[in-house]
Amino acid sequence: MTAIVRLKITLDDIEPKVMRRIEVPLDIRLDRLHLAIQAAMGWTNSHLYEIRARDIGWGLPVPGVSDGPLDARKARLVDALEDAGAKTLKYVYDFGDNWEHTLKIERIEPAAPGVAYPRLLDAAGHCPPEDVGGYPGYMEMLAAKADPDHERRAEFDEWIELDGFDPAAVDIPAIDLALLALARKWARKPAARKRRAV
């Protein structure tokens, strides 16, 4: 039976706190870990990313760029943890908005029989909208939400419907479905049996 890792994912510097606690296989490829984080946080996978363990980074390599990240499709979480000797990783999403996340390894244990991974254990806070302008843009958006006379309220309201945005709300059923879709997609398919000629 494979081992699983319990990860606490926290979006750095954001209030109210945005946190997810998920379990993933210890041998998950880092490009798939990226997709699990995207699904858990509520991002739309519209930008580049990098997973960092100390001074080593993995992401999508850029052709012709030698000092870019290592290929996340060719590395597994277990290797990243062993190679760097780290218990905490960094995940950066969208190099323009620069959303930094801390990934804390809370526990490694055997997988439970019959459980599909990745899976959500706990969640707090609504992820900021994509392309809001990073931390400064998000803080201004929240200020506009709180102040009907804010100079940018109409602009934000047209884009995000401020009255309907609750920074503390979490859509747990949507996260569960997104992670389950990944688990099903990545599940090992049983080898097809050859039929014997009669």
SS3 content of the chain, % helix, strand, coil (to 5): 30, 25, 40
pLDDT tens-place values along the chain, 198 residues long? 589 999 999 999 998 999 999 999 999 999 999 999 999 999 999 999 999 998 889 999 877 777 789 999 999 999 888 877 778 999 999 999 999 999 999 999 999 999 999 999 999 999 999 999 999 999 999 999 999 999 999 999 888 888 889 999 999 999 999 999 999 999 876 555 655 554
> Strand, coil or helix: what is 40?
helix
In this predicted structure, what is the pLDDT of residue 68?
Answer: 82
User: CB neighbours (10 Å) of residue 161?
Assistant: 9
pTM summary value: 0.91
In this predicted structure, what is the pLDDT of residue 159?
Answer: 85
In this predicted structure, what is the pLDDT of residue 54?
Answer: 85
Q: Are 9 and 103 in contact (CB under 8 A)?
A: yes
* 39 Cβ contact partners less than 8 Å away, ≥ 6 residues apart: 118, 175, 178, 179, 181, 182
Tokens representing 5 are 């890792």
> Strand, coil or helix: what is 59?
strand
Cα separation, 80 vs 51, in Å, equals: 9
CA triple 93-145-121, angle to 5 deg? 45
Task: Read off the amino acid at residue 85.
Answer: G
In this predicted structure, what is the pLDDT of residue 192?
Answer: 58
